[in-house]
């Protein structure tokens, strides 16, 4: 099999993770082009993957003017331009691996699904958690009918305080007007997709939701707090959300976001990092005085066609990041958390001297924030495009619509006091 010739569109952190398949398994994928408005990033990526200069572009508009030289694209642009950048790629004749969420509202979502159908192209969404052995094992057990019919499915995501600060209080996804994606869409479209995937053919029929920004508001700023942590704040060594404590004391954590502006100057100079936090960087602003306007916690309730119910709770500012799951069926339960990587199957057991019987299955993966799914997803995309084979985890754009609609409706419900809204597929 010849490698899948692929163009990177948006050379950010996530795109490069998927593109690294070309380095690890060059027989599967070859990176032959880069589209990115940043000349520094274009240069770095072109050198890393040995891309010809004539295949380096500032925009998708430039790309589609030249004769097609690839078969697929990895689109890792920002959420609000996913549809704008993907439709020209489909028309150009490329299949697309598209970062989640694939759209920021229902109108855009339906527009992109229609475009994929119109041009007959494959669009696979980067719901990488489907590939984590933890969730995949659960899906396999549900598919076998191990715990019977599902009565209730509960998911929770606890967003760590340093992740919350970096992405949703100070960073790229902290303000709806700037990123055009809600907290639930940007952070938990994964989780809502997992819910829909695990529920199989049982379709969602109604959604309700509550949530707000409770923590990161001006009224909660500590007394005497400054505006910029390392400039005018006497609490720089005490505050839980001090930029010094989060980013200088831990310079390698979230470095691909926090130090992005230092790419052209080298990111190893601690004095340059301090200077950045003191001046232009949004990561140096007081967490209680930033322009964030997204929720820091939200609860979603979903009613399914069968009468089963599902809940998802997103809680930001937790001591550690954690994704938990608990499914109750007519014969037993499945539960666990992604980070431990242990799936517990607890079965009803009415035998004498028994109440239940448990089996614990260890599918843990070390040192991977997505439970080991990143490269499995990229490899599955190649198989989907080249061989038209869809694994149990593969998610086409048509499959992904349910989870997106549930998120859009949850946010609408939250804005309207928890109003119950119907799901129209």
Per-residue confidence at 268, pLDDT binned at 50, 70, 90? Answer: confident
Q: Cα–Cα distance between 66 and 79 in angstroms, integer?
A: 26
Average confidence (pLDDT) over 237-241? 96
pLDDT of 208 strictly over 60? yes
Per-residue confidence at 368, pLDDT binned at 50, 70, 90? Answer: low
Q: What's the alpha-carbon Rg for the chain, to the nearest Å?
A: 22
pLDDT for the residue 80:
92
pLDDT digits (tens, 9 = 90+) for 332-357: 999 999 999 999 999 999 999 889 99
pLDDT of 307 strictly over 70? yes
pLDDT of 394 strictly over 80? yes
At 226 the three-state DSSP class reads coil
Contact indicator for 326, 154 with CB cutoff of 8 Å? yes
Per-residue confidence at 30, pLDDT binned at 50, 70, 90? Answer: very high
Q: Are strands 332-337 and 95-98 parallel, antiparallel or unpaired?
A: unpaired
Alpha carbon separation from 366 to 138, 339, 372 (Å, rounded): 19, 9, 8
pLDDT for the residue 266:
60
Q: Following DSSP, what letter does each residue of 311-330 receive, concatenated?
A: EEEEEEEESS-EEEEEEEES
Per-residue confidence at 371, pLDDT binned at 50, 70, 90? Answer: low
pLDDT for the residue 369:
54
User: Which has the closest alpha carbon to 272: 251, 295, 300?
Assistant: 251
Q: Cα–Cα distance between 226 and 285 in angstroms, integer?
A: 9
Average confidence (pLDDT) over 255-277? 83
Q: Following DSSP, what letter does each residue of 168-191 receive, concatenated?
A: IISSTTS-HHHH---HHHHHHHHH
6: left (phi over 0), alpha (psi -120 to 50) or beta: beta
| Bridge partner list, 359 | 345
Residue 418 is encoded by which pair of tokens?
Answer: 């928890």
> What domains are there in the chain, each with its CATH number?
4-125 (3.40.50.720), 130-216+292-368+396-422 (3.30.360.10), 219-284 (no CATH)
Q: Following DSSP, what letter does each residue of 247-265 receive, concatenated?
A: IISSTTTTHHHHTGGGTTT
Per-residue confidence at 260, pLDDT binned at 50, 70, 90? Answer: confident
Polymer length of the chain: 425
At 153 the three-state DSSP class reads strand
Q: Cα–Cα distance between 184 and 405 in angstroms, integer?
A: 12
pLDDT of 118 strictly over 90? yes
pLDDT of 278 strictly over 70? yes
Cα 94–chain centre separation: 23
Average confidence (pLDDT) over 202-210? 97
pLDDT for the residue 425:
87
Average pLDDT, the chain: 94
Q: Following DSSP, what letter does each residue of 376-394 receive, concatenated?
A: HHHHHHHHHHHH----SS-
| Bridge partner list, 76 | none
416-421's contacts with Cβ under 8 Å and 24+ in sequence apart are 418/208, 418/209, 418/210, 419/208, 420/206, 420/207, 420/208, 421/206, 421/207, 421/208
pLDDT digits (tens, 9 = 90+) for 13-26: 899 999 999 999 99
Report the 10 Å Cβ neighbour count for 92.
19
pLDDT digits (tens, 9 = 90+) for 66-87: 999 999 999 999 999 999 999 9
Residue 216 C-beta-side C-alpha neighbours within 13 Å: 30
């Amino acid at each position: 099999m010849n490698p899948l010739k692929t163009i990177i569109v948006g050379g950010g952190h996530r795109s490069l993770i998927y593109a690294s398949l070309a380095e690890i398994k060059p027989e599967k994928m070859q990176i032959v082009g880069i589209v990115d408005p940043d000349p520094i990033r274009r240069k770095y990526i072109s050198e890393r993957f040995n891309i010809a200069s004539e295949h380096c572009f500032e925009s998708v508009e430039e790309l589609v003017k030249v004769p097609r030289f690839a078969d697929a694209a990895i689109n890792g642009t920002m959420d609000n331009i996913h549809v704008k950048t993907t439709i020209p790629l489909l028309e150009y004749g490329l299949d697309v691996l598209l970062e989640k969420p694939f759209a920021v509202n229902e109108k855009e979502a339906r527009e992109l699904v229609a475009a994929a159908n119109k041009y007959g192209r494959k669009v696979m969404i980067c719901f990488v958690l489907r590939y984590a052995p933890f969730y995949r094992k659960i899906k396999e057990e549900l598919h076998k009918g191990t715990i019977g019919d599902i009565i209730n499915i509960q998911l929770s995501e606890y967003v760590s305080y340093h992740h919350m600060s970096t992405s949703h209080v100070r960073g790229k996804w902290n303000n709806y007007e700037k990123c055009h994606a809600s907290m639930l869409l940007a952070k938990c479209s994964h989780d809502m997709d997992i819910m829909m995937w695990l529920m199989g053919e049982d379709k969602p029929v109604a959604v309700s939701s509550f949530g707000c920004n409770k923590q990161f508001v001006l009224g909660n700023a500590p007394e005497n707090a400054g505006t910029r942590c390392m400039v005018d704040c006497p609490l720089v060594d005490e505050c839980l959300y001090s930029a010094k404590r989060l980013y200088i004391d831990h310079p390698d954590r979230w470095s691909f976001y926090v130090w992005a502006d230092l790419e052209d100057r080298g990111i190893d100079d601690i004095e340059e990092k301090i200077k950045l936090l003191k001046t232009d960087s949004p990561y140096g602003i007081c967490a209680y005085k930033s322009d964030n306007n997204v929720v820091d916690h939200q609860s979603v309730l979903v009613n399914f066609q069968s009468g089963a119910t599902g809940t998802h709770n997103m809680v930001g500012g937790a001591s550690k990041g954690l994704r938990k799951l608990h499914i109750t069926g007519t014969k037993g339960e499945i539960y666990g958390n992604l980070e431990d990587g242990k799936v517990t199957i607890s079965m009803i057991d009415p035998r004498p001297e028994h109440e239940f019987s448990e089996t614990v299955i260890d599918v843990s993966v070390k040192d991977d924030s997505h439970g080991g799914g990143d490269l499995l997803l990229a490899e599955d995309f190649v198989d989907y495009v080249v061989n038209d084979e869809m694994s149990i985890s593969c998610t086409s754009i048509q499959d992904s619509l349910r989870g997106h609609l549930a998120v859009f409706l949850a946010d609408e419900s939250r804005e309207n006091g928890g109003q119950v809204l119907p799901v129209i597929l």
